Structure 1
Amino acid sequence: MNNKIGYILFVSLLSFSFIGLLITLMNDPMWLFRFILITAIIIGIIYFIMKKFVFKSSTIFTKEHKAFQKAARFSKRKYRRNTKQPTYKKKNAIRKRTASSTHLTVIEGKKGKKKNRALH
């Protein structure tokens, strides 16, 4: 029941405000331009004051924090490890292994005889 009453109040308030805006625009069309301009000026002044006085004391804009951020970027670049290896290096590694195995030869020996481990 409360949702229905709240919805009716919201729709009626929205419709009355829309009707009031239309009537004001018919009587004074420059009102909307002045309203937007004045609102933008007020928001700009508030932003300037906040940036100048409130955000200045924050640690985000201090010199030490900026120096730390710069050092961190430099360290990341310096110690960055290349996890991807180019494909040509992998192919060369495979070729080296196969090329090095060609020097092996078969030695004929006593393969069929079993050793008597008790004598040794």
Structure 2
Amino acid sequence: MAFLKNRISVPLVGSVIVLGIIGIIGAFAGDPIGFLKNIVVFALVGLAIYFVFRLIRRSNPRNKEQQAFIKAAKKSKKRLQTKGGEQSTKSSSFGSLTSLKKSKTKKKSPVHLTVIDGKKGKKKNRASL
């Protein structure tokens, strides 16, 4: 907070905060039900704006592609780091037990590919021509 470094702004900010607290207490003392209604309406409008903003931001196709690229880059970086880590543990004769356990117990994400069985094993009967 750079503005608090100035000695003049500290009392100014403090007085604004104190006046705000006095105003909130005065509004609550004058009409408590109206004050609570205003708070509820303000919160509902804020939530509506927040959800609309999230909906707009999520529907952007570039954002989805960017997230997929970032995820793939992180996976690639982890894969390269684990390959480098395995080489260093293999080269050293005394690898720590915890590093070996971590590399073996690490689960890979499931690959969403299906195998399509074709007629690869059968050879064409070319003599029937």
The alignment's TM-score, normalised by the length of structure 1, stands at: 0.45
Larger Rg, first or second structure (1 or 2): 1
> RCO greater where, 1 or 2, for CA within 8 Å and sep 6 or more?
2
The alignment's TM-score, normalised by the length of structure 2, stands at: 0.43
